[in-house]
Amino acid sequence: MSNIQNPFGQVLVALVTPFTADGEVDWPGVEKHIDDCIRQGADGIVVTGTTGETSTLTDPEKLRLVEVGKSVADGRAKIITGGGSNETAHAIQLYKASEKAGADGVMIVTPYYNKPTQAGVLTHFRMIADATDLPVILYDIPGRTGIPIKYETILRAAKHPNIVAVKDAKGDFSEVSRVLNQTDLMYFSGDDSNVLPHLAIGATGLIGVTANIAAAPYRTIVDAVNAGDLKTATAAHQQLEPLVRAVMTHVPGTVAAKYILHGLGRISSPRVRLPLVGPEDSEAALIEDELSLVGEIPGVDFSRFRPDRNAAAGGALPKVHGTTR
């Protein structure tokens, strides 16, 4: 774990954004879900990230999610705004507004689609970090953005005083170890199946999708690792394994998480916004098969799981479209 103070927490939920059946943000549902996650042990909430469907949220929705998160958390958890933009000017504008809205930190994803050089990636990160006083997490997820943050770029970015952490969804453990050895950066596991291995080599915590459903076992893993109790951490890791597989392997994590949360009665609708769609029957069947292998998990009663494939079918077109300025 890094020697610098951790401003984010250790068990961070990559929050889904609950929608109504017609694709509008379900604001009472957002409040309830954030409170549920915090009560289960989350000490950080990442709103408007990939899992929150940032690509189809408007900027006013993103800022309101920060405001609602701060109000609900009421000091119990940090609120980090995720997402960003592949346009540096837009990202700067959005993060400045997020800081005014009360965000405790920002998570900057590698610019997507444009495929900049590493010099462009570094400039993007530095200019955003210059524009805010908030602590910054860099989000390294080449499977979505098309490009990695290379090792040398991470070392250079680490020299910026506001850039203090990386969310790693690349899965290169040797690189993580090298960076941890040579910088003060904190690392957060961005792959639900690799949380314990990341922590075992010195990561600070996790930013997880499955934690929307079951934050308590991740709290157990983190607390056990902090206490040097590998046996307890491993038991919780094994307990989570079929649930992680259900959420992360058959459809996008957002889709599966909402399908499961709705089936548990914890959100009012499993709706996602297009181009995401709910699971088809064959995909839903695979998710349900994985869930049948889940044993007892603190905070979750799968005997009450009642999936609704019809409610999840298709995707929504909200009234106001896109990430507008």
Residues designated as active site: 139, 167
d(CA 262, CA 256): 10
d(C-alpha 321, C-alpha 325), whole Å = 11
DSSP label at residue 317: -
Please tell me whether 51 is known to bind a ligand.
yes
- DSSP symbols for 82-94: ----SSHHHHHHH
Residue 297, annotated as binding a ligand: no
- Tokens 């290379």 sit on residue: 150
Facing residues of 166 across strands?
A: 138, 187
Whether residue 207 contacts residue 46, with contact meaning beta carbons closer than 8 Å, is answered with yes
CA 179 to chain centre: 22
Amino acid (one-letter) located at 55: S
The binding site comprises 51, 207
The binding site for pyruvate comprises 51, 207
